[in-house]
Amino acid sequence: MPEPSADQIQARGVDRMLVRLEHLDKLLNLAGEVIITSSTLHELQRDMVDAVTHHRPMTESDLQIIKSADEASARISQDLHDLVMAIRMVEIGETFKLFRRPVRDLGRNLKKEIELKFEGEKVLVDKALAERLVEPLLHILRNAADHGLETPIERIHDGKSETGIILLKAVEHEHETEIVVSDDGRGINEQKIMEHAQKLGMIRFGEQPSLLSILCISGFSTKEKATDTSGRGVGLDLVNTMVSEFGGTIELENQPKHGCIFRLHIPKLKAVNIIDALIVRCSKTLYALSIDQVVSLQGIKPDQIQASMDRERFIKYLGNPIALFDLSELLGGGTSVQDNPDVVPVVIIEGKKERIACVVTEFLAPSKLVNVPLAKDMFDRDVTGIAGTCIISGGRVGMTVDINTVVAMATGEPLKTEEEHNNDAFSPSDVSKSEKDNFIFNSSVPDSAAIKHSQDELITKAKLSAQRDRIANRIEESSQKDLTDTDISDLLTELSRGLMELQDVLLSLENDKDPELMKEAFRRLHAAKGNFTMLGVGVSAGLAHELETLLDHLRKGRIEISQELMDILLDGVAELNNATKMLPQQTPDVNSALLTRINIVTRSLEKNEPITDPDQLLGTAFTLVPTVELQLLGALKQGAQAYETFIRFKSGRQAEFLVAYLTLRKLCYHGTILATLPSISDIENGYCGNAIKVLWASPLKPDALKEAIDRWAPLFNIAEHQSVPTTVFRYDSNAEI
């Protein structure tokens, strides 16, 4: 099979990517050189026609021009190839960042403290390869978090820090990129793995296969019951298959009690679709075989071909028997016709697991070719084993052979259908479909019990329905413009990239409460809202607005960063990203469950919002918790009187919250304060207007109380005050003291 190209490696097409301006400048320069070389060849062609017409021999100058044009053409071709490869390269760090959310959620699900670290983020890899690496790396990370890292109490008992470390590292070598996934957990109990594999009948007693080979057996798992994280025995088997598909290998280094290290060795892509190939002829058909998988060329005599019970035909190579087949027959083209009956041309090729020998008609010269992958509907018959077509020198058309598939066909290894290949890319039994589509944006953390409990109490169906309608109405309110398909595509690309960056900012914000990160998150969410509005998608624009409101409360210090809040924000960004994937073919629906969670937070903000307006204070009743009720009953038993006291201050000399606080301290000399509006904490934090209302118990009679407050009212800048005895209260077990 030809060396894996970027087009063959990618699971999904890379529709768009950022291109550096310096690369565009180089491309423009090369285009200029192509024009100059083309002009030179055109002039040369005219001279040659003239020479032939007038029977004039070519001059030394003409030959020199041909040589220069040939050298320029070869150099420009190489420069163009190198530039295209450079354009396709991206930093592996962008791929590494995709795992921050899944690892965070895994830690929460597994009740483990996990820190994900990166090294070598600047290493460059092909864009398509970077996308294909996501899935196998996710499987390894899941195993590291679930099987490798211990619980905090286990780690402390073993003398480790309670936070487990998973390291993602990229190392660039001359011919390959090495991706390392390591953890500092318990490592792998090799004896237990061996015994379990024997118990399941996957290996025989006495066999000593490598640890990695056992772990990569399909269906192998040490867990008796599958969970959302692991236990179905498909993870490492799929990792091995997927890494092998793009020519990579896996190594495992086990360190009992200190963790384990997975090393993925990924060969560098040397061309987008250019291959170094050996050209062979079978009868009249030309085939191109990747030189990297050609082991040897042999010219053997017919009597050197042997037969046995196990193998129909075989030859000896370096003393070992190798099965012999006809390449043309394997590819469905009939038996290869031999030009010379005394010598049979045989090419030995190597697949993933085995070597075979193939009879051909003739060896032709090695050549550098451009492989054109086959379109699915190009042929009306099965073309298994053909990777594509190519143009061979002289304008002849040849077929590029998929050597891995040909060897598998010859040795009886079962071939996977296209559907099975797609399923292998991400197993449905391992991850839900929504997570398969966009796992980095989907949280596997269920709603907390508090959210579920509050759902019925805080959110009525009428309010939720009204909010859905309000958000849906934004579709008509949005000023959608006449957008071309290109405009829509550009907006969706910008949205997708911006939402990815927003998620990254939110994950950083969870660990570092930097005000600048809050501003950055707010700006990116605001930009997303604007893009959805431009697209006329009111549902998503409305959701972005609701999330923007939460971020604004966070930015202004009205709410604190918590895991519950971060879950809501991250799930909201995931919902927006899913909407981006649906557009423009399908319009997203309102996510009622997510709106419910947002409403719980905003409702609690309304409940705790400081009341500063004097008229609103007068009309607001106190809400007592049972412990305050007991305090009040105790004071009443001792002969005290319960009062609601309203106090309004003059504007002026001192900050209102400071005057209110000093006034409350003064009231403490005359009784016991049970509750205040605004609350004590709000007053201490400066959330106070020019009035307060106090529920308290005092032994003073109403007249004596009025006289006492009148005496020190001028000292505390009090403009008016009223105290009313009260015996009616509203109790709430959820209210704060």
pLDDT tens by residue, 382-424: 578 888 888 887 778 888 898 888 888 888 765 555 444 444 4
Residues 141-156 have a mean pLDDT of: 89
Whether the per-residue pLDDT at 93 is higher than 60: the answer is: yes
The CATH architecture that domain 614-731 belongs to is 2-Layer Sandwich (3.30)
- Compare 306 and 458 and report the one with higher pLDDT: 306
- Compare 128 and 356 and report the one with higher pLDDT: 356
Per-residue model confidence (pLDDT) at position 167? 94
User: How many CB atoms sit inside 10 A of residue 633's CB?
Assistant: 12
Residues 616-638 have a mean pLDDT of: 77
Q: Can you read off the two tokens belonging to residue 198?
A: 């024997």
Whether the per-residue pLDDT at 378 is higher than 60: the answer is: no
Lowest mean pLDDT among 194-198, 450-454, 539-543, 590-594: 450-454
> With bands split at pLDDT 50, 70 and 90, how would you rate the model's confidence at 359?
very high
Q: Are 130 and 92 in contact (CB under 8 A)?
A: yes
Per-residue model confidence (pLDDT) at position 435? 42
> With bands split at pLDDT 50, 70 and 90, how would you rate the model's confidence at 22?
confident
pTM above 0.85, yes or no: no
What is the residue-wise DSSP string for 215-273? HTSTT--S-SS--SSS-SS-HHHHHHHHHHHTT-EEEEEEETTTEEEEEEEEEPP--SS
Distance between CA atoms of 10 and 14, rounded to whole angstroms?
A: 8
Whether the per-residue pLDDT at 634 is higher than 90: the answer is: no
Q: Can you read off the two tokens belonging to residue 649?
A: 């201050």
Q: What does each C-alpha distance from 439 to 392, 565, 650 come to in angstroms?
A: 44, 20, 58
> With bands split at pLDDT 50, 70 and 90, how would you rate the model's confidence at 230?
low
Per-residue model confidence (pLDDT) at position 737? 36
| Torsion on CA atoms 175, 8, 2, 285, rounded to nearest 10 | -170
Q: Are 333 and 248 in contact (CB under 8 A)?
A: no
Q: What does each C-alpha distance from 346 to 306, 412, 692 come to in angstroms?
A: 14, 21, 98
What is the β-pairing status of strands 718-725 and 641-649? antiparallel
Residues 487-512 have a mean pLDDT of: 84
Q: What is the CATH number of domain 91-267?
A: 3.30.565.10
Residues 490-510 have a mean pLDDT of: 85
Whether the per-residue pLDDT at 143 is higher than 80: the answer is: yes
Residue 298's beta-bridge partner residues?
A: 346
Instruction: Quote the CATH superfamily of domain 435-608.
Output: HPT domain (1.20.120.160)
Provide the percentage of residues in the chain whose pLDDT is more than 90. Answer: 11
Please write the tens of the pLDDT for every residue from 561-610.
888 888 888 898 889 988 888 888 888 888 888 888 888 777 666 555 56
What is the β-pairing status of strands 285-290 and 396-401? parallel
Q: Can you read off the two tokens belonging to residue 583?
A: 């557009």
- Specify the fold of 274-411: OB fold (Dihydrolipoamide Acetyltransferase, E2P) (2.40.50)
Q: Are 659 and 726 in contact (CB under 8 A)?
A: no
Whether the per-residue pLDDT at 14 is higher than 50: the answer is: no
- Delimit the domains of the chain by residue range: 13-88, 91-267, 274-411, 435-608, 614-731
